[in-house]
Amino acid sequence: MKKYSLIYLVILVVLSLAKIADAQVARPGYNSGKGFFILDGKLYDSTGNEFIPIGANTAVFWQSETNGMKSFPDMKKANANCARIVSVTNHPDNSWSWQSSFTKQKACVKACVDNKLIPILEFHDVTCGNGYDTDAEGKFLKKVVDYWCTPNLVSLCKEYEKYLIVNVANEWGPANVGFRDGYKKAITAMRNAGIKNTILIDAGGCGQNPSTLINYAQELLDFDPEKNILFAIHFYGLWMTKEKTKQSWQFYVEDYLQQFKTKKIPVIVGEFGWTGAPDNFTLYDPQKIITESNKHGIGWLFWAWNSEPTQIYYNIVADYAKGYTTEADLTEHGKFIVQQYKDNAKEAKAFLPTSTSMIDMETSPSIGVFPNPLTSKVLNVDFRNIEEMKIKQIQLKNILGTTIKDFQIESALSGQLVLDGIAPGTYFLCFRNDQKSYTSKLLITN
């Protein structure tokens, strides 16, 4: 019985790994990190698989530590795939919050990873601020950038680089060129400090102004030496859905989600609430925000898993001190949202086991292949170091060691191989003769 159970387990692991290989894309050559990366308007995890963040904010900084930490296993139980950790820096003004402690911030990140949730860590200190170095209300961006660049935070980013997304600051920035210029300074400082994680930038205008993304997102993405910037739009009072007439100063959710997708701006919906919030903050149809996001493959994070107890329109769990065990523990709209998690949220494949059959094997420097990464159909092969050894077999294998293509061997070795119809990803070219084999790693991006 144990023998068959082991065989069954091996089959499941192989099938899981096969799913990884099928969808994998190669990390771009300009990106030197080992975690998430951006390519062609999409977010990919460390395995090269697209990841669409679907989860919620957890406002741990204004809750007790017990209630805050409870949110992570509860969100995993609900099938969310990520959690935005709403925190504050260690500035003296934040001494009231347990979350002003680096040790506690790291504990939240670890709790996410332990529960196979992608952590998105952010700081709330400069919400609706405008200046980079100074600000009339002290909400200048440099305050949180300096904190990100402290040895503790840089160490945290490196330790959890495979999983952690770095949300610089909640809803900072003007709705003009100051947004672009401020974040260029932030990107420079954080990259120079050694942070290679995907950087998440909220839209300007308190997170709500779409023109800051339409006008400046691509420029900021190109400015980053890692080209690893994700953006977030927050849907509150400035936003409406098309079943209602919007005011002249408002934007339609449907129109801009389509624009973001068309322009290949890597974006997620970082915050939105349910109907019923005061001050006309949530007059839109939140179900339509979710369905439109799902339709476009755009991630979304509800505000919040657990906000203020009296703000039902911002809560998924009815009583965050009790937490989530059954559907009865959810608000009415929380039941809808959790079902959406179960229907649409996919766990990051970075949490799955990786193959050692091909990835970790030694490759031979004897046979050069170029261009690498390959962006066309024709690969050049340099056999000069092994001319005396007759090659009898050439195969292209994926990361699992499965043969994808056998090449016909002519009487004389060809200096070119045609790789037509091969999906983007990481592969290995295996050359064999009677005595020896050679392996060259190849990235295909075409």
Q: What Rg value do the Cα atoms of the chain yield, rounded?
A: 24
Closest CA to 71 of 307, 323, 316: 323
Give the architecture-level CATH label for domain 32-351.
Answer: Alpha-Beta Barrel (3.20)
Taking only the tens place, the pLDDT of each residue in 48-68 is 999 999 999 999 999 999 999
Along the chain (446 residues), what's the average pLDDT of each consecutive run of 10 residues?
Answer: 46 45 78 96 96 97 92 97 97 95 97 97 97 94 98 98 98 97 98 98 98 98 98 98 97 98 98 95 97 98 93 95 95 98 97 55 63 85 66 83 80 76 86 77 82
> CATH topology of 1-30+355-446 equal to that of 32-351?
no
Q: How many helices (H) and strands (E) does the chain have?
A: 10, 19
Q: What is residue 385's predicted lDDT score, i.e. its pLDDT?
A: 63
* Alpha carbon 307 to its chain's center: 23
Cβ contact 394:417 at 8 Å: yes
Length of the chain: 446
Q: What is residue 365's predicted lDDT score, i.e. its pLDDT?
A: 55
pTM of the predicted model as reported, rounded to 2 decimal places:
0.78
On the 0-12 / 13-18 / 19+ scale of CB atoms within 10 A, 403 is exposed
Q: How many Cβ atoms sit within 10 Å of the Cβ of residue 409?
A: 14
**Alpha-carbon span 145 to 122, nearest angstrom:** 11
**Alpha-carbon span 412 to 363, nearest angstrom:** 24
On the 0-12 / 13-18 / 19+ scale of CB atoms within 10 A, 124 is buried
* Alpha carbon 341 to its chain's center: 17
Question: Tokens at residue 259, please?
Answer: 């624009």
Strand partners, 74: none
Cβ contact 126:172 at 8 Å: yes
Helix H or strand E encompassing 272:
strand 267-272
Strand partners, 268: 232, 299
Question: Does 304 sit behind a cis peptide bond, omega within 30 degrees of 0 on the bond before it?
Answer: yes
The torsion angles phi and psi of 115, rounded to 5 degrees, stand at -100, 15
The torsion angles phi and psi of 23, rounded to 5 degrees, stand at -105, 5
* The CATH number of the domain covering residues in 1-30+355-446: 2.60.40.3080
Angle between helices 102-114 and 151-159 (to 10 degrees): 10
Percentage of residues of the chain with pLDDT beyond 70? 89
Q: Where are the domains of the chain?
A: 1-30+355-446, 32-351
